[in-house]
């Protein structure tokens, strides 16, 4: 009864365990995969040719799946920071061999403009911003850059197989020239890390990588909050 009343008044319950009061309770927040040992290479099968090393700390399964959806679709902005912590775990592993003086540019894969309009926010950019803030606070040389934009209308990727996704995505993304010029003027050596919420076939990440590489921006890796398929250690 008390819980039901709390739920009614606060209008929120933990996305992980259902505990009323907060969108993510401290216990579920603590249990998120944010440590280096959680980070795995992602291996879409088949993998798009030339895909940069892709890393994630989490499998696309509950409660993380629910967190991603609630953040994206119900604008539960309080989940951006915990999702950013999960993303940051993968980015930290990418940063380990970074040469001195080089800045890692975290580049969010842009959401479809229709999605941004409909939901009133770009969920991936919001998560990447949270991860960037955390990593900078820890002293890592990272910056977020919204270098990419959608060049044309895309069909919804959901329900398409790997081949159709690749065709749907061909030349779909482009670099924003004004952001690229600003980057060139800064003369800071950078390596881009393509960031997304979920990786499935790798087609979107590969297209982001292509758009950046074609504009002369080196891509070091792909980091995602969660992956639908993970490469398991042998045995």
The least distance separating Zn ion from the CB of residue 36, rounded to whole angstroms, comes to 24
The least distance separating Zn ion from the CB of residue 194, rounded to whole angstroms, comes to 31
Quickly list DSSP for 141-175.
-EEE---EEE-S----STT--HHHHHHHHTT-EEE
The helix (H) or strand (E) run that includes residue 119 is helix 113-119
The least distance separating Zn ion from the CB of residue 16, rounded to whole angstroms, comes to 4
Q: Which part of the chain contacts Zn ion (CB under 5 A), choosing from 13-21, 111-119, 125-133, 207-215?
A: 13-21
Question: Tokens 């941004």 appear where?
Answer: 116
Which of 78, 68, 96 is closest to 193 using CA atoms? 96
* 67 touches Zn ion (CB under 5 A): no
β-partners of residue 54 are 222
* 14 touches Zn ion (CB under 5 A): yes
Strands (E) in the chain, as ranges, are 40-41, 54-56, 103-108, 142-144, 148-150, 173-175, 190-199, 219-227
Question: Tokens 């940063």 appear where?
Answer: 95
Binding track over 20-59 against Zn ion, x by CB under 5 A: -----x--x-------------------------------
Choice between 14 and 105, CB closer to Zn ion:
14
Q: Which of residues 103-162 bind Zn ion (CB under 5 A)?
A: none
Burial of 12 (0-12, 13-18, 19+ CB in 10 A): middle
* 76 touches Zn ion (CB under 5 A): no
The least distance separating Zn ion from the CB of residue 121, rounded to whole angstroms, comes to 24
The least distance separating Zn ion from the CB of residue 82, rounded to whole angstroms, comes to 11
Contact positions vs Zn ion (CB under 5 A): 14, 16-17, 19, 25, 28
């Amino acid at each position: 009864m008390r819980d039901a009343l709390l739920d009614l008044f606060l209008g929120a319950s933990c996305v992980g365990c259902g505990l009323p009061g907060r969108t993510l309770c401290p216990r579920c927040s603590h249990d998120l995969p944010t440590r280096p040992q959680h980070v795995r290479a992602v291996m879409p099968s088949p993998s798009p040719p030339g895909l940069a090393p892709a890393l994630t700390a989490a499998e696309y399964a509950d409660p993380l799946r629910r967190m991603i959806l609630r953040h994206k679709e119900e604008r539960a902005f309080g989940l951006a920071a915990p999702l950013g912590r999960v993303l940051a775990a993968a980015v930290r592993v990418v940063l380990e061999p970074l040469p001195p003086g080089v800045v890692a540019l975290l580049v969010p894969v842009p959401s479809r403009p229709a999605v941004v309009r409909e939901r009133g926010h770009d969920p991936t950019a919001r998560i990447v911003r949270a991860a960037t803030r955390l990593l900078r606070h820890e002293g890592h040389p990272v910056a977020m850059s919204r270098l990419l934009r959608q060049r044309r209308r895309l069909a919804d990727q959901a329900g398409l197989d790997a081949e159709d996704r690749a065709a749907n995505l061909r030349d779909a993304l482009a670099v924003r020239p004004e952001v690229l010029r600003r980057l060139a003027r800064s003369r800071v050596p950078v390596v881009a890390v393509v960031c997304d919420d979920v990786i499935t076939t790798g087609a979107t990440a590969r297209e982001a990588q292509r758009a950046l590489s074609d504009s002369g921006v080196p891509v070091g890796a792909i980091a995602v909050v969660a992956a639908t398929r993970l490469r398991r250690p042998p045995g």
